[in-house]
Structures are given as C-alpha cells and as structure tokens.
Amino acid sequence: MSLLEITNLHKSFGGLSAVLKFNFRLDTQELVGLIGPNGAGKTTVFNLITGVYKPNGGSIVFNNENIAGLAPYNICKKGVARTFQNIRLFKDLSVIDNVKIAFHKNVNYNLLNTILRTPAFFRGEKIIEEKALEYLKIFKLEDKRDEIASNLPYGEQRRLEIARALATKPIMLILDEPAAGMNPQETRELMQLIEWIRQDFQLSILLIEHDMSLVMGVCERIYVLDYGQIIAHGLPEEIRNNKKVIEAYLGEEVG
C-alpha cells in the first residue's frame, strides 16, 4: 500500500525551478533512496515534504491526506520526522533535553499543573524522562545524557538527531545524507542501525544520499534526481547500469 504519493510537485526559487514535475511513491515499510548530484534538488524535496517550503504546485499525499503546504508542526503530528543534511540539534541544550522536546507534542499535563507543580506534573515529567532515556539507550547515548549536544563528537550528533526524530513517533522517517562526514566504519554502522530501526520501529524510510554506492546496499528502490527532475527510478541493479544516471554523475565529476 502506498504511504506517500507525490504527484507533479513543483518548486521554484525566483526563476530557477529547483524541483519540477516530481513524481514519487513510497510504500509502507519500504526503504527508498533518493540520489543525485549536488544541487539536484534532493534537500528541496525534503523541505517540501516536511513543510519547511511551500510548494508552487502538485500534491503530497501522506496516509491518504494531502499535506502539501501544511505547517511543519502539523506534518510532524501526522507522522513524518526528518534529520538534516547539516545537523540541526538544539546545540546549547543537553542531550536528554534534545530528545525530551520531541515528546512535547504528547505532553499529558497542562499549564496549570506546570505552574502549581501538581502531582500530575511530576508524573508527566517522570514519564518523559523515562521515555527519553529509552531512546538514548537505543543509540548508546545514555552515558552522555547531561552533556551539551554541541560537545558530542560528530558521529554521536548524527545519532542523537536520529534518536530525536524517532522520539516524535513517526510513521515515516526521512534522512538527509545521514552518513555525510562519517568515516567508512561509522557509515557501515549507521547503515546497519538504519536497517535495524526500520525493522524494530516498523518504519518507512526515505533516504537521501549523495554517495551512490552507499544506498545500493540498503535501499529497495532508488529514485535519481538531476536538475530537479527524476531521470531514473528502479531497483538498485537497474540504476547502477542506467546510462542517464552514469552521465549525470560523470558530468558532476568533470564539471
């Protein structure tokens, strides 16, 4: 069953069409890759899906509902979570607070409880604390709970960002170049982790990667974007041998 169905999506910045006639489908619990050379428009697609940008045209149907143009916080509440190409943690806050913020949309005490410090407040905070720790444990960050997020090494910041995204309890997780800046060892571990969370959380995952070889291993289907348009889509083997794709990537290396 299709979970995400994007039809004819269009976004332009001034005169430049960053995304054009973009069609895309993601099924429930599928892991699909979106690849393409730098500047192809991949991040723009993510920004359109998550509501950071408003599309100029087209529809984004998620879970049988058109979410195109909704505010980001509403799209999050419908079950879409993401990470960013250049990590966007709450840098000056502690590791655990970063995750706790993800639980705010389901907070079960109100402002009056907060100000009067009623038992409901303490119960609610305890639940949030326990849940946040659960997520930190999954990503092996529980020992760093009170550290300031920006003091973590790069790889751990990436993991924390994924932990925070998962804590919003998404149906679909979208990852923007999660392996960027990681060494091969870290990248391998990350890919295993992504595969594992997909199984364990029963997630549908959309993955952007610049490095083609990386996605070949984990993705079931791959879309290739170039100059804002899909130039190929199919199984990893099909993409690997696709002439247009090779040209797009070659063009990048030459230029």
| Nearest in space to 154 (alpha carbons), one of 73, 204, 89, 210 | 89
Determine the interface stretch with other proteins among 49-57, 151-159, 178-186, 238-246 (rule: CB under 8 A).
49-57
Nearest distance, CB of residue 177 and other proteins, angstroms: 16
- Of 156 and 161, nearer to ligand ADP (C-beta) is 161
Tell me: does residue 112 bind other proteins (CB under 8 A): no
- Of 2 and 63, nearer to other proteins (C-beta) is 63
Structure tokens at 152: 């973590």
Helix or strand (DSSP H, E) at 35 = strand 31-35
Determine the interface stretch with other proteins among 69-77, 192-200, 217-225, 226-234 (rule: CB under 8 A).
69-77
Determine the interface stretch with other proteins among 13-21, 77-85, 134-142, 213-221 (rule: CB under 8 A).
77-85
Instruction: Choose among Mg ion, ligand ADP, other proteins, none what residue 94 binds, the Cβ cut-off being 5 to 8 Å by kind.
Output: none
Nearest distance, CB of residue 65 and other proteins, angstroms: 16
Burial class (CB in 10 A: 0-12, 13-18, 19+), 180: middle
Tell me: does residue 93 bind other proteins (CB under 8 A): yes
Spatial separation of the C-alpha atoms in residues 248 and 255, rounded to whole Å:
10
Which ranges of 144-227 does DSSP label H, i.e. alpha helix?
Answer: 154-167, 184-201, 212-218
Nearest distance, CB of residue 81 and ligand ADP, angstroms: 18
Backbone angles phi, psi at 70, to 5 degrees: -70, 160
Instruction: Choose among other proteins, Mg ion, ligand ADP, none what residue 146 binds, the Cβ cut-off being 5 to 8 Å by kind.
Output: none
CB contact at 8 A, 71 and 122: no
Spatial separation of the C-alpha atoms in residues 165 and 143, rounded to whole Å:
19
Instruction: Choose among other proteins, Mg ion, ligand ADP, none what residue 135 binds, the Cβ cut-off being 5 to 8 Å by kind.
Output: none
Handedness of CA 66, 70, 72, 74 (dihedral sign): negative
Name 94's bridge partners.
148
Spatial separation of the C-alpha atoms in residues 225 and 85, rounded to whole Å:
17
Tell me: does residue 50 bind Mg ion (CB under 5 A): no
- Of 109 and 201, nearer to other proteins (C-beta) is 109
Nearest distance, CB of residue 205 and ligand ADP, angstroms: 17
- Of 30 and 226, nearer to ligand ADP (C-beta) is 226
Burial class (CB in 10 A: 0-12, 13-18, 19+), 80: buried
- Of 115 and 254, nearer to other proteins (C-beta) is 115
Spatial separation of the C-alpha atoms in residues 139 and 159, rounded to whole Å:
6
Tell me: does residue 124 bind other proteins (CB under 8 A): yes
| Positions in the binding site for other proteins (CB under 8 A) | 50-52, 71-73, 76-77, 81-82, 84, 88-93, 97, 100-105, 107, 109, 111, 114-117, 121, 124-125, 128, 164, 168
